[in-house]
């Protein structure tokens, strides 16, 4: 126990460290235990944080007053939301319905392809093994179908909640943007007068998270549009739906690109077979992925702290398990938060022995 007591005293011997710990514990507790109830407020804070950079840009570059800059940015935000609701989502939903309707035909083609393998490679695989694989796939597909049905029923029940979000979240976003300084001043009133360590950590976190989140949003748009252009030019079916999936896949580093490649390859294969169109499409798709990883990402995230791939994957798993989609989206900035805290944490000077 003495070892733990000495370690605890050494870790929290600075009042600034205690203040920072209390702030972190309170913030994490609110999100963990009240996150579901405060979801509209938290989502509004995230969106307002994303838009704050544009507000500051209009204030500093265009010399607009704060309120006018907020109104301009808010109107752009509403326009973008209406585009998503009235333009993108209906098109993606229609293509998803068409894909589901064609799914049985794809299954038949896939089954015929698998049944032809024993005749082509008799020394490696038998018909009994293929039938076993097909039965396992059928059982798995049936399970997926049941989950999709239950999810659709749950989504129907939550329709009123979605309507409330569509009204409440934009309203909260506007007030978070308009009264940001007032709200921050009110929150600072609960902190001790000297909270320099918390301020130091927040400045670093704000720089890292702001750069990352706004850059990631721009990356999603660029990858989505570039992939959509490639898919439409090649005549691939369900181009909008697949391009949207590819764009969203950049949220999850490494894993997302691997996972989303599977439906793209399957749709292309069932549409064209293994001919030249399939090879051209996959080549162009991989070229877009290469440009994203080697040009776009270094350009957008040059100021973000580099993290080891193991740390990134661990952050995605941990924060995704805690907070779902938003945890995955903010996994890397949250990991940089942890890194910033560890870097700024006061360490007692080691005693020098003669």
Residues 237-289 pLDDT 10s? 889 989 999 998 888 777 788 888 988 998 898 888 878 898 999 999 999 98
Residues 145-174 pLDDT 10s? 555 555 554 554 456 677 777 888 899 999
Q: What is the pTM of this model?
A: 0.70
Q: What distance in Å separates the CA atoms of residue 114 and residue 107, rounded to the nearest whole number?
A: 10
Residue spans per domain, the chain: 14-110+158-188, 195-346
Q: Does residue 352 register a pLDDT over 50?
A: no
- Structure confidence at residue 2 (pLDDT): 65
- Structure confidence at residue 280 (pLDDT): 93
Q: What is the mean pLDDT of the chain?
A: 78
Residues 41-86 pLDDT 10s? 888 888 888 888 889 889 888 888 989 999 999 999 999 889 888 8
Alpha helices in 179-308 (DSSP H): 180-188, 196-234, 239-249, 255-272, 276-291, 297-300
């Amino acid at each position: 126990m003495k070892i733990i007591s000495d370690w605890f005293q050494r870790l929290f011997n600075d009042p600034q460290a205690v203040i920072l710990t209390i702030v972190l514990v309170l913030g994490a507790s609110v999100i963990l235990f009240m996150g579901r109830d405060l979801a509209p407020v938290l989502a509004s804070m995230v969106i307002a944080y994303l838009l704050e950079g544009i507000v500051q840009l209009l204030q500093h570059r265009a010399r607009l007053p704060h309120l006018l800059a907020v109104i301009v940015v808010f109107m752009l935000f509403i326009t973008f939301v209406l585009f998503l609701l009235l333009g993108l989502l209906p098109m993606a939903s229609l293509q998803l319905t068409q894909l589901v309707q064609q799914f049985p035909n794809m299954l038949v083609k896939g089954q015929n392809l698998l049944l032809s393998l024993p005749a082509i490679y008799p020394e490696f695989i038998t018909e009994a093994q293929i039938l076993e694989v097909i039965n396992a796939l059928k059982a798995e597909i049936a399970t997926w179908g049941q989950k999709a049905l239950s999810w659709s029923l749950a989504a129907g029940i939550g329709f009123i909640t979605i309507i409330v979000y569509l009204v409440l979240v934009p309203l909260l976003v506007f007030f978070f943007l308009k009264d940001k300084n007032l709200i921050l001043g009110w929150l600072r009133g609960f902190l001790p007068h000297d909270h320099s360590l918390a301020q130091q950590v927040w400045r670093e976190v704000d720089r890292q998270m702001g750069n990352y989140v706004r850059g990631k949003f721009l990356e999603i748009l660029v990858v989505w549009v570039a992939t959509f252009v490639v898919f439409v030019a090649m005549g691939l079916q369900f181009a909008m739906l697949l391009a949207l999936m590819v764009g969203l896949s950049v949220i999850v580093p490494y894993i997302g690109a691997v996972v989303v490649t599977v439906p793209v390859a399957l749709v292309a294969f069932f549409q064209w077979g293994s001919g030249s169109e399939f090879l051209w499409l996959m080549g162009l798709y991989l070229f877009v992925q290469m440009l994203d990883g080697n040009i776009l990402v270094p350009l957008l995230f040059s100021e973000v702290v580099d993290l080891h791939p193991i740390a990134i994957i661990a952050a995605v798993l941990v924060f995704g398990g805690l907070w779902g989609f938003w945890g995955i989206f903010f996994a890397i900035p949250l990991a940089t938060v942890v890194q910033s805290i560890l870097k700024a944490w006061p360490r007692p000077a080691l005693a020098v022995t003669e």
